Structure 1
């Protein structure tokens, strides 16, 4: 199939428009101020189009875009796929009707593959950076270790499994960083695509196997990685499978004139250097809140006169507090400040301007006295404290030699 084949030209135009429309507003979303002056208006049009498509063509009159759900697999996200496919098909028809555009379909698609390389590469770099910091896969916490395994969601189980081992998190992070950076450079793009396919395939399998609501996005990262690899697939097949001499074609430079090469170098420095550094700084700047030092961390329980206590367990950990009754709803509070003498200031979403108070004092009996003031109500509890080292999960550690497996 040669480059003048009309079916190939139309397919490349349609696929290219889809990749571009799915990835937007990347990379503009990494440039300061562009969201307010441009991106948000285009995103608003895209949202209105997807809602119109879902309501008018898919028969979903109640369709809406739910903001900040933390899920990438909402109904809106599923409708987005056929909506963008239809949009890409219609745009491709318009482009195909223009002969001057149609004859450059292959060149257009090559540009889109470069766009896909940066899109997947910088996404994986961002994922990789997160693995080295507190956030995506937190380690064992009092709250997570106090929950029965049978009460954990599949996603919660996966997150706790990955979060247990810093070594495994570093391995995952390095894999994503290596794949991401290899994709950013023309000479290593095919190798980067191979590594990215392995990394993204694992992500996709985890998301589908443990019901993690990032199935659509991770599947697109895998799909784009496969597309990036395809130009070199025949040479790799000849060499690895048929054991025939083969040679990967080096991707041609995007620009040849000195003026445009200089401009592309500047853009590339921003994409390859500034954006990864800014994402690294963004992740790092969030650590101060996530990794708050808290000398009073622990699971407080076994309260004297427990029948009169509104809670059976109190969890104090880093930047939050959980009040757990024997039955009913748990109450979560954010720790605003830890003062000297065990005074802790708390808030929740309903009392932003009126902090509550928790006072903790160690008693000579190796128990702890907790005085809690929530609004106008105050409770004084005396109980014991469980530390991280008291859990089998955290004190077991690593053993080179195991005469018998410790599997309980």
Structure 2
């Protein structure tokens, strides 16, 4: 966490509120995972949603108390922010690791036999998706491994950014799948909350990422053409590939 970033947060009620609320969201995601859709006897839905409601309301009220006490120099905002930021890291890591372990133990990508025996055009997008991902056990283990390894990287400051970038690409894709393949609301909510959490972990270093991706010069050799020729070659990649695709389409009668 850069010093300038954390100090900016400590002086803004809005940013305090964002940090606190995201912590509430990520903790809520953990509670939803633990509740497992009401299948855990000692953690009934009424308790799960009561705890979630309490934490979400608290996360909205806490920043005002925090800001009030900070102005009277009665709290150390740097420590509070560090606690909340750490909480977001650990909640996000716990949740993602949990989903990864579920795949290892066959608790995800499983389609009931009575559903898999139906014709393909009678399946919902959700069951088609689960059947597709569950077809290859190796692929499921690969996804699980990325989730678990990425979660582990979040737990260490030196590897936090690397892990967050890996997980963001995975989670963003999963969120799109959950939306467009009409997965259940619980899966969609979890993917959105986890994506928000990982994105928040990336934001403190956004200037480093801009420098790395857009300002760092590549060491690869290049042709010494003028700018006009270079741009013409770049455009030709898209235009010629499109033209060839149109040609292939025209061959289909």
The TM-score normalised by the length of structure 1 is 0.43
User: Deviation digits for residues 103-136 of structure 1, max 9, x if unmatched?
Assistant: 7434422322211111111211111122222221
The Cα of 1:228 is off from its aligned counterpart by 0.7
Q: In 2, Cα distance between the equivalents of 1:160 and 1:133?
A: 16
Indicate the residue corresponding to 1:234 in structure 2: 207
If each structure's strand is expressed as a fraction of its own residues, which one has the higher value?
1
Contact 1:15 1:88 in 2 (8 A): no
Q: In 2, Cα distance between the equivalents of 1:6 and 1:198?
A: 26
Change in Cα spacing, 1:218 to 1:113, as seen in structure 2 (3 Å) is same
* Greater RCO (Cα-Cα under 8 Å, separation 6 or more): 2
Contact 1:23 1:119 in 2 (8 A): yes
Change in Cα spacing, 1:102 to 1:19, as seen in structure 2 (3 Å) is farther
Q: In 2, Cα distance between the equivalents of 1:176 and 1:223?
A: 16
The Cα of 1:8 is off from its aligned counterpart by 4.8
In structure 2, the gaps of 5 or more residues are: 35-41, 218-253
The TM-score normalised by the length of structure 2 is 0.66
Match of 2:16 among 8, 13, 18: 13
Q: CA RMSD in A?
A: 3.3
User: Deviation digits for residues 265-302 of structure 1, max 9, x if unmatched?
Assistant: xxxxxxxxxxxxxxxxxxxxxxxxxxxxxxxxxxxxxx
Match of 1:133 among 98, 105, 111: 105
Q: In 2, Cα distance between the equivalents of 1:189 and 1:6?
A: 19
Q: In 1, Cα distance between the equivalents of 2:9 and 2:103?
A: 45
Indicate the residue corresponding to 2:164 in structure 1: 193
Please state if 1:112 is matched with 2:84: yes
Contact 1:95 1:101 in 2 (8 A): no
Indicate the residue corresponding to 2:179 in structure 1: 208
Change in Cα spacing, 1:106 to 1:216, as seen in structure 2 (3 Å) is farther
Q: In 2, Cα distance between the equivalents of 1:133 and 1:144?
A: 21
Match of 2:65 among 72, 76, 94: 94
1:143-222 paired onto structure 2 within 5 Å: 143-212=114-183, 213=185, 214-222=187-195
Q: In 2, Cα distance between the equivalents of 1:168 and 1:197?
A: 19
The Cα of 1:203 is off from its aligned counterpart by 1.6
Please state if 1:121 is matched with 2:93: yes
In structure 1, the gaps of 5 or more residues are: 31-35, 50-79, 245-408
Contact 2:66 2:75 in 1 (8 A): no
Q: In 2, Cα distance between the equivalents of 1:145 and 1:41?
A: 34
Contact 1:3 1:106 in 2 (8 A): yes
